[in-house]
Amino acid sequence: MAKVVAALALLVTLTGCSGLSDEAANAVFVAPGKFDVYTCADIGRRALAMRSREAELQQLMDRASRSPGGALVNELAYRNEYLQARAELKLLADTASGKNCTSESLWGSERAVW
């Protein structure tokens, strides 16, 4: 019985952590100025890699949520990395905007990264 209560307490604690806003996640997961030394091309490459990882994590979270205990798996295995990827993408977009980077100068005819 004590193990069940402890497991439920842990679950409640973990699900409470998922309520981080985007601003809070940005403050927790990414240091301001992290990408200030990046060139526009570097920012573009990093953004593409982060978008790919974000999509991969979202697919993993969607798949896990379909199984029993999936919410717990998402919180333990994927949620923090997913929030970090989103926070990095926001900081990359902000940094690119501050440096006046344009998608055309980075990728030619390819779509914008941000």
What three-state secondary structure class fits 98? helix
Q: What's the whole-number mean pLDDT along residues 65-91?
A: 90
For the record, the structure tokens of 73 come out as 């798996």
Tell me the per-residue pLDDT of 46-75, one tens digit each, with 9 for 90 and over. 999 999 999 999 999 999 999 888 888 888
Each domain of the chain, given as residue ranges in start order, spans 21-101
87 within 8 A of 95, measured Cβ to Cβ: no
Phi, psi of 112, rounded to the nearest 5 degrees: -65, 150
Measuring CA to CA, which residue among 8, 93, 109 is closest to residue 50?
Answer: 93
74 within 8 A of 61, measured Cβ to Cβ: yes
Is the pTM of the predicted complex or chain greater than 0.85?
no
Tell me the per-residue pLDDT of 3-28, one tens digit each, with 9 for 90 and over. 543 554 455 455 445 455 555 555 66
Q: Report residue 37's pLDDT band, with 50, 70 and 90 as the boundaries.
A: very high
More confident residue, 21 or 93: 93
